[in-house]
Amino acid sequence: MSVIDWNGSDVPQALRGLSVGRYVVEPLDEAQLLSPEEEEGLIEAIESLRAGRGLEHGHVRGRILKTIPR
C-alpha cells in the first residue's frame, strides 16, 4: 500500500513506479489506527521474531497457498 499526497494536477512519483494494471484509488481522510488487540499481536510477533522463533518465507507462503482454492 502507498499513501500519496496529490496536488490535484501533477502525477505523483509514487504512481510512476507502479506496474501496468488497474488500480483503485480512494481518498484517505485519516490513517487507520490499530485496535488494541492488533497492536498487541504485532508486538508479540516482533518479540517472537527477535527471540528467533520466526518462520521461513517459503514455509509461510506454502501454508497460505494451501488455503487458497484453485
Domain ranges of the chain: 13-67
Please determine, for residue 27, whether its predicted confidence score (pLDDT) is greater than 90. no
The closest of 1, 51, 67, 50 to 28, measured between CA atoms, is: 1
CA gap 24, 15 in Å, rounded: 12
pLDDT computed for residue 51 by the predictor: 94
The dihedrals phi and psi of 44, each to the nearest 5 degrees, come to -60, -40
Report how far residue 31's alpha carbon sits from residue 14's, in angstroms, rounded to the nearest whole number.
18
pLDDT of 42 reads 92
Q: Could you tell me if 17 and 23 are in contact, meaning their C-beta atoms sit under 8 angstroms apart?
A: no
pLDDT score at 30 = 74
pLDDT at 1: 65
